[in-house]
Structure formats: structure tokens, C-alpha cells
Structure 1
């Protein structure tokens, strides 16, 4: 495996492939002065990963390169693949030195789309059978790139049908385009709304993992599909709970006997939602998205002024009806004529009629500036439709989103699909997410979140959640600490890069604000399993954080998997490793169904379990 990148995702992906799947990985990163430092994944996990590498190396005769020299030099293969290869850019010479010509898979996870595309085209030429995984932010361009590279691989494979084994023989060439923003956005949005990131969606199937206590009689998950995990005594979804001992670790994918013995214990239960959020419930709102509402056209003060004038007209019409005794409809008509100074003066009419005519004329004079103001506000609203909106005064229960970069923009789109009110805060007036905010008509506050008054302008005191997604850990932390001084019970979700730093922040915030919900999420931590699965030829649909462990959801073809093929859904289950959740393309998944060739299933698996499925 070859991993090329310039940020934390490259380092975490390489660690995932080595420590979990036991793959030999060559990491290509820019020189130290141009790259972000690798993420800290914890001493215990680093030690266990090193031990696992040594065991695998001894078992397969130096496959990982961690124990002893390789059996012999390979052309295009580096002598020490564990040592990162430093290069400013992934040129053809750099890819050749990294061993792309003989590699099984290549991941290009640079932050720049153009760099990844250029390197992918070069790599496909060097090795037509290479399995490519690209990180692209532009989804439409990514679809075209997938088709182009797959077509090139198919043509190259046809040219090699003469029996010669070219580079990468035995590996099925494929191209997968992923986005760390798209991978992490559903989890971050779900965390902001419900306090949990446990949502997985595929092919119209929406699965949601919820936390609930098991029944006292040990009857299992109740209305849920199955029990995914038994939680420890610490915080269920905090991600950085204060108790991290081995005896406090959650139990992933327990069997029925374990579930029965854990009666009354907190558990993560899987539920099936009939329709994906935003497909039906949000449709009416989108159908009327082009029609501005009354509240967006006129200010509240102007609306109250118009209502007051209408009340005056009604009162004058009723008074005229009582004074003159004419028909009520005629009284309304005459009042409107007086209002617009169309009727003749009531010179020979009774005194009451004359007074009412004067009052109607006075109300008409008051109506003119109100109508002019309404016209000006309507014109201004349409004129500034392409500009950023300000948070309305009566907004309540919304989500304050800090940062409109790649991650923030995807999360914003996801929140609006769920019809969640959002107020964005962005310091860069040229941020890429501002266009999406204009299109979605989301209020935006431009300013540095660390400056006093910016969060107040976003009405943080009436918000439900603060979602800090800027690229700077200290900025996110400072914003959260300041917000907590304004709202001690505010739910906060932080995007933090360093795991050790996130653990310390989480424990401190939990101790200082025990009644408030605190969550810390790492985008690379959520995205790395999907990229690693794609490099191994698997489709990882999502990752669910269960305390400090991760449960993966993947789509797997039954053909070629002896652990699945020929077994019933109930038999194709290994406690603590994997469980079949659903059969794609069919309604329902009876436990007695025998899995056969052509079936495609959704499985929940631990990292080790997914590696064992092969």
C-alpha cells in the first residue's frame, strides 16, 4: 500500500493500514517544514500497533518490514517502507520510488484536488492494475475522474491479455473517489442535533444507532434491530471518557447471552428509519424555497404598523355603521373612500359623520409613509437576496456553526437537509462556504469568533448547540470556553485534531460543566476507516464512535467470503467481530435467509473483524 498526503489524514490512514490490517505501507509526505505534524493516537494504541506489526512481520517473514531485512531487493520497492518518504509533490519519479508500479493500492489524500488528479493519472499509467483511492472535494468532478480512470484501467487490462503478468497482477483495478468532508459531515451533523454521531445511510437504507438501557428482563433491544455495543460505566458517547481502563472498555457486537446478562445496562441499539432525512419531510420546504416568506420581506416593526392601520380602518368602518346605520359593507366602502380622499366632503352630514371622515383622512395620511416603507423594504429584500442574511431577532433553538471551510460547508448542507435552523460564523469574507450559505438563505455573522460580541451576534444565548469546526484547535477551544461562560448548559461539539489534547479538553469540560453535553470529534478519525476500506476493496459506509472505540459499517459482496456464503444471516455472526445487519436490494432480512452468490449485505464490524473478513 502507498499513501500520499500532506495532512493528518495521510498519517492516520497509514497507521490504520499498518496497525489494524497488517499491511505494508509506504507513506509519502512533504518535507517537515511543509507538512502538518502527524496526529497523536495515544501511547497505548501506538504500542499495540507496533506489537501487532512485529507479530505479523514474524508470521509472514518480514512482510511489514518491521523485523529483520527483506528477503531480497525488489525493483521499485523502498528498503525501509516504515520510514516516510519525503517529497514536495507526488511526481512520477516519487511515485516510482514509492513502489507504485508493484503496489496493490494507492491513496492520494492531498488537500488539493488538482494534485490528487495529476498524481492519479500518472499512477494509472505506471500501474494499470492499481487500486486507486482519491480524496476529492468536488463530487461531480470526482464521478468523471472515476469513470475516466476505470476506463483507462479496462483498456490497459485488455492490452495485457496476451498472458504476460504485468505490474500488480492479481489485483482488481478500481478507482474510488472519497471526501473526508462527506464522510464526516453526517456524523458531525447528527452529533450537533442529537448529541450522537451514530447515523449510517446507504442505497436508501437509513440506520441509526441510539443509546438506551436494556430491558430489565434481558429481552434485548426491544424495537431495535440488534444490540451493537454494551457501554462501559463511563460516558456513553463522549469519545474521551474519564475512565479508560481495560475493564471499563465497551463490548462491541455482543452475542445474545451477553445481552441477556447485561439487563438494565446502557447499550447502543441499531434502529432502521424508513426514509432518509431530507427526502420526504424536507421536500415541501424545498418546493417553496424560491418564494420569500412574509417575515423575510417586511420587518417586524413594519408588520405591526400595517396591522395597526388595518385595525384602525376596521374600527372606523364599525363606528360609521353605528353612527349612520348604513349597511356594514357600505360602511367599509365609504371608509376606504374617505381614507384615500376619494369621497365628497360630508358638509351637510351629521357631526359624527364629519368627525369620522376627518379621522379617516388622518389615517390615510399615516398610511402613505407605511406603504412607502413597505415598498422600499421589499425592493431592498430582493436587491440583497444574494447577500448574507443577518440572524433574525426571534431565533431560538438553533445551531451555531463556526467555520465554513470544506467540513463546515458539508455539515451546513446536511443540517439544512434536516431542516435544522443554523447561524454560521466565519472570519474569512472569501470562504468557500459563503456561497452555500447564500443559496440556503442561512444567516451568517462575519467576524473573528475569538473577539467579544461575535457569538452574541449569533445569538448563542438562545442556541441549542455550538458546533466548532474551524481548522484551529485553539480557536475552537476558545470559542467553546467563552460560549460556556454565556450558557453553562450549552451543548458543544468540537473538532479537535490531537487525540490526547481532545481527551484532556473533554475531561476538563465534563468536570467543570457536568450537566452540559460535550463532544469532541476528529474528522481524520472518522474518515480514515472509509479510506482504508476502499484501499482494501471494501465499501465502508460509515463509522460509529462507541466511547473510544469505532464500529464500522460496510457493504460486502457475499461471493468469495467463506464466513458468509452458504450461511444463514443468524449463523454469519461472530461476537466481537462482525454481524450482518441488512441484505441490500430486499425488504427485510430474515434471520433464516441463506446468503448466496450475488447477495450484498451491510455488516457492522470492528476494525479487526473487517480485516478478518478479507
Structure 2
């Protein structure tokens, strides 16, 4: 049964609200992002109010200051989508865990509203690409000519892929939301009060309210308002004068992506093999179990050899040789020998029956241990300032691939030799420990004392926390990035670890929390590259063609700046409209024509053939996209 809500819209009126259909943490985080960060009115379709995430979204709905509406329905069928207002909605996000459910709902939504902007969560990448092209083609065929404001794009995202850049950035460079354009990586970094700028700084994004605010985008960061409050996109004079008393949020260029290193030469391969052989775990064949079994066998052989020598009056070598043949059932029956020899042969046979299974078992166990341990590729003894990555599942594998495109050194720990990322680690030649990171000594083998960062990405929250606590005991200053499924638990762990180790960075976030900004940006339109929370406000990064924008066209970069509204970050040549398949919000946007200038001259005049990347407030983006000018500010009395 579906519970209907009233949206207050007349028939045929197109609303600006957004609809989310989902049943897990991503739906909740996306509702929070659109409501609190982006200021959007949101309708959330839930399967139940009683589960954990349904209760969290219901709490948002009960907040009198939140415009979040609820609709409870078992499936996103046509009746449900109509009741949620999809026919008039600006955007629809489908975040169910089931690809087929999302596909069916997307096809229904496109038929109900050809101009709705669709954002779909898909686990199967190939299927997602096909669906994206199909729905975009359907939108082009049924596009309404009088709906000029429509952006009927379809964006298929994976929460795993969108979370990876944030995890990599947090481990590699610390705090700061990341943005990727044309293979370049940028982040928002805080410069404390009184500290000079860096050569990598591109622009001042905000002057913060708290002079010691070190993580303005964090939900659990301290909020110490100053007398002037946070100022987004300040002018140069304000940014200069307040830098001595307030922290500044700067846009910093982090790194240039490059291809992984080429395979080693033959000489390098020989060196690697020689070094690997010296680290093989030969000592497993000297384990207590193996030495005990073979020691017992040796003692029995010696005793039988002495008895044989006394009975048969033969040399010591022959006296040891005959019992060994008897134990291993390799000798002939001693039917023609003396009675003493026959008795000793029988004794040796019974000893063989008892001892040989133990010998075989110990040998096999040692061989298996040797095979497993020899698969390890331990780090060099002089390795320092590296990143330790624990877990090579779906997310860990993609994080490893992304980290290898940077200049950072990596050591990987994975207890499952069949995990999907183990083959990639071996192919890349990354130091690999096939061990349980919770076992004593494993973190020491990964040289955690000398590392600068620890990324813990296993599937178990409790195991992740155990690893982090052990690492903190060994290296209290190591930068920690931890993946936790439970959002509230992640925030609690982060606060506790920061309180216990104030001199070290600890960041614990769920994948849904890291992915939500990318989904929110896609819902706001394909021109939005990313959303960066800043204390209680937010900044949006957008790409805009200069043609048709009187606020930009014909003006210099300096003149195009509008205080607290928008700032030009980069200028390049405009291209044709991009297909959805070539877009990847927050996970790396490729523009049609590469070559953006991220340090444009203030005197450069913007022409109709230019395309610009802007940092804007939500109000500034509305002005640029709609052309509606705000009311002029009241003049203060002199």
C-alpha cells in the first residue's frame, strides 16, 4: 500500500523538487546532502520507516526546518513514481541495491517525464553504460521544445567509484574534498591563520569563521564562529586582511595522474627474483611440528640400527640402511634371515605404519605454509613515508589502482590469497603481505612505524577498528583513513580517535557518505562537477560555456568575479555538448577539448568560444543558469 503526499503543485506545473528512491544509507546521505548542503526540497521514497535508514530519513522529515517529504512504497512502480511527483520533478535518483529495480524504475520515470534528470546507481558498469545511452536517446526523441530549462541527462554512477577519489585523497594528502578535471586532482585545503600561501594554491575559496578550523567539511568539526562569520568566495582585499586572524580554504592542485610504471627490465627482473628468494620463508620447514615428527623418526631409526647391528653383526651403515627400508616398506621379507632380524623387521614395519602418516602430514603442512608465505612480497627494509593499504576487495582494488597512478609508495595487506586485488598487486609489483592485519607483527612487517598513512578498507567494522587501534599504538602520528559501514559509528569513532590522538589525522567515513556529494552533483545537472561543504554552507564547482552569459562574455577574468557568488578558476576552449557516457562526476571529468588554463591572467577577456570552470555558491549558480538578477544590496549609511 502506498501512502500519498501532497506537493502543492497545480496540474502541468514543473516543480524544482527532487525525488530519491532508495532503501539504504546512500538514500539517507543523499537526502541530507540535498537538503542541508544544496538547499533542495526532497521527496524520499522508502520501503519501510522501521528499518535503520528509514528511521533516519523519517527523523529528517519530522524536523520542522527540513523540506524532506516521505513516501512509503514497496516498489518504485508507476503509481509510486506518480505519487512522488516524478512527472514534474527536476531530478530523480534511484539508489536501490538491485540493478534491475533501478533499471525498471528509470525506464518508467523516463516515460512519465521525458525531461527529468536521472541519476542511477548501478553495480554492473557495462549494463550501466548501455542504460545511460538508451535513456539519453529516449530523452532526445521525446524532448519538449518549449521546456528550455530541462536538462534530461542520465548519469549512471557507482558509489564505490565515486568514493575512491576521496579515500585516495584522504590517505595521500590528508583532509580536503577532491575534484578531478582532465586528469588533474584538486582539493580544498585549509591554511591556518597567519600561515603563508603555497605555490600550489590556485584561489581562495572561503575565509572561515574559526581561526583554528582544520576541517570545515567534516560533520564533527568544531564550529567556533568569529565576529565576521564564514565568507565564501571573498574578494582579494578581504582574503588578504583576514588571513592573519582566520583560516582560509584554498583550492590546491594536488597531483598530475600518470600511467603506472613500465614493467621491469630483464636485469630488474633478475634482481627482483634474487631479492625475493632471499626472503622466502625457508624456516617453515624447521617448525616445531616438523622437527618433532622427524626427530621422532630419527630416534626410532637409530634405535633399530643399533639393535640390528648387535643382532646381525654388520656394519653401522648397513644396520641403519635395513631399518629404513623396512620402515618405508621398501625391503624384501627377511624369510631366510635370523629370527632376530625378522622381529626387528616387523617392529620397523609397525613403526612405519605409525610414523609415516605423521611425516606426510607435517611435510604437507610445511609445504602449504611455505607456499602461502612465499606469496608474500615484503617491503624493503629502508622503505619510509609509504601508504599501508589493508583490504583488497572491490573498493581496495580500485584504491590501489588509483594510488599507483600517483608517486606514492604502497604496501598492501590482504589475508585472502584469492581476493580480487591480489593479482593486481602482483602485476604492479607492489609489496604484498598475505596475512591477517590483526595478527601480531603483521603491521610491523608492513613498516607501519615508518609509514605516513594507513588505509583500512576491509568489510568488517570491528576488524577495521581493531587494526586502526593497533596501528595507533605502534605509530601514534600515522594518518588514518578508515572505511566503516555505519555512518553514526563512523562519526563517533572519528571524534574519539581525534580526542585520543589530537596530533594525528583520523578520518572514518562510510562509502555512502563519500559517494553522496557525487550523486547530489549529478542530480543538480551535468554542468555541476562537485559539491564542497564549507562549515554550514557549500560551494559548487561548475563548467559553463561563456556564450550567452552576459555576466561572463566580454568581461575579463577579474571583472567576471562576483564577490560571494562566483569566481573563475580555469578557462579553456568550449566544445560540443558532452554525452553522459563521457562524464564522471567527481571521479574525473574529461572535457571535450583538453588544455584548461588553471592560472588565467586577470586581464584575459572571456569570449563566446570559451568554457570556464567556476566555483559558485548556490545562489550564484542560480543567477548564472537562470539569468535572474538578485535585488541590489541596501546601501549602508556613511
5+ residue gaps, structure 2: 1-17, 281-366, 574-595, 626-638
Does the C-alpha gap of structure 1 residues 15 and 613 become closer, same or farther in structure 2, counting only changes over 3 Å?
farther
CA RMSD of aligned residues (A): 4.2
**Are residue 27 (structure 1) and residue 44 (structure 2) matched?**
yes
Give the match for residue 125 of structure 1: 111
Give the match for residue 600 of structure 1: 611
For residue 482 of structure 1, report the CA deviation from its aligned partner.
1.8
**Are residue 192 (structure 1) and residue 141 (structure 2) matched?**
no
Aligned match for 2:501, one of 507, 510, 513? 513
Structure 1 distance, partners of 2:265, 2:622, is 46
Aligned match for 1:589, one of 582, 589, 600? 600
Give the match for residue 294 of structure 1: 270
Give the match for residue 262 of structure 1: 242
Alignment of 1:251-400 (within 5 A): 251-264=231-244, 266-272=247-253, 276-279=256-259, 282=260, 285-286=261-262, 288=264, 293-299=269-275, 302=278, 389-392=376-379, 394=381, 395-400=383-388
Structure 1 distance, partners of 2:535, 2:149, is 39
8 A contact 2:192–2:214 mirrored in 1: no
Structure 1 distance, partners of 2:96, 2:122, is 9
Could you report, residue by residue, the CA deviation over 1:26-58 in whole angstroms, capped at 9, with x for unpaired residues? 2123335666467699x9xx799853x5xxxxx
For residue 579 of structure 1, report the CA deviation from its aligned partner.
1.6
Structure 2 distance, partners of 1:289, 1:119, is 52
For residue 551 of structure 1, report the CA deviation from its aligned partner.
3.9
8 A contact 2:187–2:253 mirrored in 1: yes
Does the C-alpha gap of structure 1 residues 423 and 257 become closer, same or farther in structure 2, counting only changes over 3 Å?
same
Does the C-alpha gap of structure 1 residues 144 and 47 become closer, same or farther in structure 2, counting only changes over 3 Å?
closer
Structure 2 distance, partners of 1:252, 1:48, is 30
Give the match for residue 486 of structure 1: 474
**Are residue 203 (structure 1) and residue 214 (structure 2) matched?**
no
8 A contact 1:200–1:207 mirrored in 2: yes
Structure 2 distance, partners of 1:483, 1:223, is 31
Structure 2 distance, partners of 1:548, 1:389, is 47
For residue 254 of structure 1, report the CA deviation from its aligned partner.
2.2
Structure 2 distance, partners of 1:454, 1:443, is 13
TM-score normalised according to structure 2 size = 0.65
Does the C-alpha gap of structure 1 residues 550 and 388 become closer, same or farther in structure 2, counting only changes over 3 Å?
farther
8 A contact 2:257–2:406 mirrored in 1: yes
8 A contact 1:234–1:242 mirrored in 2: no
Give the match for residue 203 of structure 2: 226
The 10-residue stretch of structure 1 (130-139 or 537-546) with the greater mean CA deviation from structure 2: 537-546
8 A contact 2:379–2:446 mirrored in 1: no
Does the C-alpha gap of structure 1 residues 195 and 19 become closer, same or farther in structure 2, counting only changes over 3 Å?
closer
Instruction: Tell me the secondary structure at the aligned position of residue 584 of structure 1.
Output: strand
The 10-residue stretch of structure 1 (392-401 or 251-260) with the greater mean CA deviation from structure 2: 392-401
For residue 602 of structure 1, report the CA deviation from its aligned partner.
1.1
Aligned match for 2:225, one of 231, 238, 246? 246
Give the match for residue 401 of structure 2: 413
Instruction: Tell me the secondary structure at the aligned position of residue 298 of structure 1.
Output: helix
Instruction: Tell me the secondary structure at the aligned position of residue 286 of structure 1.
Output: coil
Does the C-alpha gap of structure 1 residues 504 and 13 become closer, same or farther in structure 2, counting only changes over 3 Å?
closer
8 A contact 2:552–2:606 mirrored in 1: yes
TM-score normalised according to structure 1 size = 0.67
8 A contact 2:521–2:531 mirrored in 1: no
**Are residue 149 (structure 1) and residue 135 (structure 2) matched?**
yes
Give the match for residue 181 of structure 1: 160
Could you report, residue by residue, the CA deviation over 1:399-457 in whole angstroms, capped at 9, with x for unpaired residues? 22233344333222111111433333446666544454454344554565555555445
5+ residue gaps, structure 1: 54-65, 67-80, 305-379
Structure 1 distance, partners of 2:242, 2:534, is 17
Does the C-alpha gap of structure 1 residues 139 and 565 become closer, same or farther in structure 2, counting only changes over 3 Å?
farther
8 A contact 2:76–2:105 mirrored in 1: yes
